[in-house]
């Protein structure tokens, strides 16, 4: 028994020695052995390349799959799968993507809150900065800042309320009036003029605030909701934007809105302006037809809130000029543009080139409104006091109210500073809008 065991051991030793002396690879006996290599993607997906589970011969290499994962960048596999000699589980290693969010303040400044440039992980949210801007009120950011999935620039949207001061000297100022410059008028106080016509953006912001049920007994009511520019259907609709003037509002709607914007401005800025238009000592808040008496008989108080101009204020601002081009003789420093010309024009209304530089009329408007401040500003840096839309005034003419400046739909004849047109206070047209005035 013992002799037999010794014999087997001897044979084995001889065999091993023979293999060693013959130069054979000890692994050769394993060359047909196979192993499993499994790729784990940790939420990613395979886009091509090797399969996620592969059977590999001893000593061979697995083929890496091509992989991706939303919001992440592939970094590496957590172990080698070359010259496989055992079963393997190979895990994908990912790095979460990071993006840059840049805040464009459009002329404003940051006062607090998030930085103007922020690095945000995929799916994260940026922190909005607290911002302010002279002569404007912050409205919103033009895009969302949550669930960030790319580099983005976020722009501040402002409600512009820039008012230009008409620098009436102490003792007042007298100026020519009428298309023939054969009349005169005087103003003896400093007042302010809106840099542009009231835009749809501004109208709608205040309208929504004023008509909210949250206002309770201080809620405002309007006969007409207004329109963004001149068209609400058809091919021209594609050109309408929030920076077109508001149209399709009546004179009654406008004086009610002037009271509303005064109180809205107070709420936004902690100011204490007083609404101008009152009836029986109450703020006029309702322009609906069954409340027309209060509007038509409203008193324009001397309060410092926003309002419509009277004829003298509108014409003085429209004529004011700081150079002598196309001006009325006998007046200087300031000079006054001739009454037969558009506001700020270098020649009379018959010169379409000169008129077209400052006004949108039927010959150059493509028969629609245009965004405010696109034409050349006049000397006081006021835009568009002629053309684009007619401007309602507070001044009465019998039972009507004055309109000045012409519009996109009218000829250059009506763009003349001295031209006076009138309309019924309940009229609503797509060629009429308004501009804010106030007395500080």
Residue 261 half-sphere exposure, CB side, CA atoms within 13 Å? 26
For residue 12, the model assigns a pLDDT of 46
Query: What distance in Å separates the CA atoms of residue 278 and residue 281, rounded to the nearest whole number?
Result: 6
Q: What is the pLDDT of residue 31?
A: 73
333 to each of 137, 193, 381, how far by Cα in Å? 34, 20, 16
Q: Are 291 and 425 spatial neighbours (Cβ–Cβ below 8 Å)?
A: no
Q: Are the CB atoms for 277 and 304 separated by under 8 Å? A: no
User: CA quadruple 370, 374, 375, 381: dihedral positive or negative?
Assistant: positive
Four-residue CA torsion sign, 300, 304, 308, 313: positive
Nearest partner of 358 among 373, 368, 339, judged by Cα = 373
396 vs 18: CA distance, rounded Å: 124
Neighbours of 317 (CB within 10 A): 24
Transcribe 288-334 into DSSP letters.
SGGGHHHHHT-EE-S-SS-BPPPHHHHHHHHHEESS-TTB-TT--SS
Q: Phi first, then psi: what are they for 162, rounded to 5°?
A: -75, 125
pLDDT for 34: 95
Domains along the sequence of the chain with CATH: 18-96 (2.60.40), 98-158 (no CATH), 163-438 (3.90.1580.10)
Q: Which residues of the chain have pLDDT under 50?
A: 7-8, 10-12, 14-19, 21-23
* d(C-alpha 397, C-alpha 424), whole Å: 10
350/326 Cα distance (integer angstroms): 13
pLDDT in tens, 332-385: 999 999 999 999 999 999 999 999 999 999 999 999 999 999 999 998 999 999
Q: Which residue has the tokens 């001397």?
A: 302
Quick check: 46 and 65 in contact, CB under 8 A? yes
- How far apart CA 140 and CA 155 sit, in angstroms, is 9
Neighbours of 57 (CB within 10 A): 13
Provide Rg for the chain, Cα atoms.
39
DSSP 8-state class, residue 135? T
CA angle 307-308-311, nearest 5°? 140
pLDDT, one tens digit per residue, over 118-140 is: 999 999 999 999 999 999 999 99
């Amino acid at each position: 028994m013992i002799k037999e065991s010794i014999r087997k051991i001897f044979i084995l030793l001889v065999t091993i020695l023979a293999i060693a002396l013959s130069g054979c690879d000890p692994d050769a006996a394993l060359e047909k052995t196979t192993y499993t290599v499994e790729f784990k993607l940790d939420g990613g997906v395979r886009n091509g390349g090797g399969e996620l589970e592969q059977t590999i011969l001893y000593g061979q290499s697995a083929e890496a799959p091509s992989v991706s994962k939303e919001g992440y960048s592939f970094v590496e596999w957590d172990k080698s799968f070359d010259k496989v000699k055992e079963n393997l589980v190979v895990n994908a290693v990912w790095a979460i993507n990071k993006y840059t969010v840049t805040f464009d303040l459009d002329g404003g400044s940051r006062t607090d809150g998030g930085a103007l440039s922020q690095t945000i992980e995929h799916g994260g949210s940026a922190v909005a900065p607290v911002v302010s801007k002279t002569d404007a009120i912050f409205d919103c950011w033009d895009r969302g800042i949550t669930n960030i999935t790319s580099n983005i620039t976020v722009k501040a949207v402002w409600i512009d309320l820039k008012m230009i001061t008409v620098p009436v000297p102490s003792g007042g100022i007298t100026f020519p009036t009428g298309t023939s410059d054969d009349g005169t008028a005087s103003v003896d106080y400093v007042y302010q003029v809106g840099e542009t016509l009231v835009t749809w953006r501004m109208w709608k912001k205040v309208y929504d605030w004023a008509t909210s049920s949250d206002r309770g007994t201080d809620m405002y009511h309007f006969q007409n909701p207004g329109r963004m520019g001149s068209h609400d259907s058809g091919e021209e609709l594609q050109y309408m934007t929030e920076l077109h003037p508001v149209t399709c509002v009546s004179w009654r709607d406008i004086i009610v809105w002037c009271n509303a914007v005064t109180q809205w401005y107070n709420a936004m800025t902690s100011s204490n302006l007083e609404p101008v238009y009152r009836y029986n000592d109450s703020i006029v808040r309702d322009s609906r037809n069954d409340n027309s008496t209060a509007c038509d008989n409203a008193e324009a108080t001397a309060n410092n809130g926003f309002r419509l101009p009277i004829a003298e204020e509108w014409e003085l601002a429209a004529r004011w000029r700081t150079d002598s081009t196309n001006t009325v003789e006998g007046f200087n420093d300031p000079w006054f543009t001739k009454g037969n010309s558009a506001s700020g024009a270098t020649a009379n209304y018959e010169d379409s080139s000169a008129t077209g530089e400052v006004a949108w009329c039927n010959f150059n408007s493509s028969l629609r409104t245009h965004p405010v401040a696109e034409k050349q500003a006049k000397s006081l840096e006021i835009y568009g006091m002629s053309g684009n839309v007619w401007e309602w005034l507070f001044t009465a003419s019998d039972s009507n109210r004055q309109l000045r400046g012409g519009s996109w739909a009218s000829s250059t004849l009506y763009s003349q500073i001295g031209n006076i047109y009138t309309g019924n206070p309940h009229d609503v047209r797509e060629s009429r809008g308004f501009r804010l005035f106030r007395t500080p």
